[in-house]
Amino acid sequence: MPPFDSQSRQAHEARRARLATLLGKRPALIAAGLPRPRNYAANLYPYRASSHFLYLFGQPLRGAVAVYDGAAFTLYLPEPQPDQALWEGVPPSFEDVAAATGCPVRPLARLPASVRGRAVATLSAPDVETCLEQSRLLGREIRRGVIDVLDAPLADAMIELRLHHDAAAVAELRLAAEATAEAHRAGMAATRPGRTASAVRAAMESVFIARGMTCAYPSIVTPHGEVLHSERYDHELCDGDLLLADVGAETPGGWAGDVTRTWPVSGHFSSTQRELYEVVLEAQRRAIAGVTPGTRYRNVHLLAAQSLASGLVDLGILRGNPIELAADGVVALLFPHGIGHLLGLDVHDMEDLGDRAGYAPGRERAKEFGLRALRLDRDLQPGMAITIEPGIYLAPAILEDEALTRVAGDRLDRKRLAAFADVRGIRIEDDVLVTESGREVLTDAIPKSISAVEAAVAG
């Protein structure tokens, strides 16, 4: 159990009180989920409770189930196993958990009676085993990623709460940002030609382990930044390479950081790398400046795309009007993903609820390449946390695809682009909190300008 003081208890009590207000008399069940076996039953992946449960209770209580009966919450916990104290340490007693959370605790065996014969809303746990148990308990099929009519008010209430981070949430995001910053500095310092990407990954992730944290998502540490979510770490780092690192911490309470930096293995950007890096950096600067309460996030995306287009036109890689190049999807050939996403207890916050969380009611994902990868399209409001992560990629998977590139016509100068071949992929990503007056970049302490990055890399 992460340390849990009375302040933290109060924050979670307040969240449950707000959820109760939103739910009224509608009962609900939130399951923490079960540990998942890796290769056999007793060899488990590190336990991660469901984010909805963590949001309401703050503690990764294995196998716990919370029930809201239309008036109050009760926590149902598995009974300690006979040998548990010897093998895992003395488990917290039900009284301990009740005192820490401010919520009454009862044994899991009494859970079925508490929901029997009632229409109880729920959200699917991340693990299939718990989904099957939810199905048995509630007498209807609970499937991962499916929100039934009965469950919709609960989903919408959780979205309403989790979209706007309270002070306790912001404190956790700051913790994650701080660890993430240290990891990126450690990664830069550990980079040298001849090492493998895995050595840099080790330097970065060990920062999290030393702080009792973990990775919020599988790290991307690769000289092949053009593969957007590469999980290979075996490439040797060469003198002229850029290294792209998309690595973020998760606090013991479950809150995420999510940062990308791209730095030269040698410690010095080539002139072509420098030119494209500045284009991405300027797009990020403009996009961040565009983060204000009331702004539609999709427009932040378009702003970034236009800024990229403008820079690419200046370099002779694209031809035409930047606004049209962005609108027509020509920029998407080099910037194929969205400008960012919600950030919170999940690195893509509430992605388990699908676009119901990321897209405002009435808004739908675009169909076209590029924009269809945008995970968020809401009007920004104070308390929201988002990422801003423009990039430029020379991705063969796109550039060699005639159907995709047809849209460009002669507006993409491939010969000119070929001169930038020593850039495979550049992404620059920060975590941004929307404030009343605009925004705060939570991850500002990480080297980002050309000079700061070059100074931080050992080379």
> Would you tell me which residues interact with a copy of itself (CB under 8 A)?
36-46, 48, 50-51, 85-90, 126-129, 132, 144-145, 196, 198-199, 201-203, 205-207, 209-212, 217-218, 224, 227-234, 254, 336, 345-348, 351-352, 395-398
Residue 50 or residue 262: which is nearer to a copy of itself going by CB? Answer: 50
Q: How far is the CB of 398 from a copy of itself (least distance, A)?
A: 6
Least separation in angstroms between residue 372's CB and a copy of itself is 10
Residue 211 or 285 having the CB closest to a copy of itself: 211
Pinpoint the alpha helices (H) of 139-270.
152-163, 167-190, 197-210
Min dist. Cβ of residue 289 to a copy of itself (A): 29
For residue 2, the minimal CB distance to a copy of itself (Å) is: 9
Closest distance between a copy of itself and the C-beta of residue 83, in Å?
A: 8
- Asked whether the beta carbons of 456 and 264 are under 8 A apart, the reply is no
Find out whether 340 and 387 touch, Cβ atoms under 8 Å: yes
Closer CB to a copy of itself, 45 or 109, in the complex: 45
Between 250 and 328, CB nearer to a copy of itself: 250
Alpha helices by DSSP H, listed for 6-120, are 6-23, 51-57, 84-88, 94-101, 111-115
State in angstroms the smallest separation of the CB of 118 from a copy of itself: 27
40 vs 149 by CB, closer to a copy of itself:
40
Which is closer to a copy of itself, CB of 234 or CB of 364? 234
Shortest reach from residue 60's CB to a copy of itself, in Å: 11
Distance from chain centroid for Cα 233: 21
- Give the closest residue to 284 by CA, choosing from 339, 334, 358: 339
Q: In terms of CB distance, is 85 or 119 closer to a copy of itself?
A: 85
Place of tokens 């000119």: 416
How many residues in total does the chain contain? 459
Adjacent-strand bridge partners of 75: 66, 105
| 140/319 with CB nearer a copy of itself | 140
What's the CA gap between 201 and 187, in Å, rounded? 7
Q: Min. distance of Cβ 139 from a copy of itself in angstroms?
A: 19
Q: How far is the CB of 41 from a copy of itself (least distance, A)?
A: 6
Element (DSSP H or E) covering residue 431 = strand 430-435
CB closer to a copy of itself out of 199 and 303 = 199
Long-range contacts of 375-379 (CB under 8 A, 24+ apart): 375/338, 375/340, 375/341, 375/342, 375/348, 375/351, 376/297, 376/338, 376/340, 376/341, 376/342, 377/296, 377/297, 377/298, 378/163, 378/296, 378/297, 379/294, 379/295, 379/296, 379/297
How far is the C-alpha of 102 from the C-alpha of 273, rounded, in Å?
54
**Which tokens go with 160?**
């309403």
3-state secondary structure of 359: strand
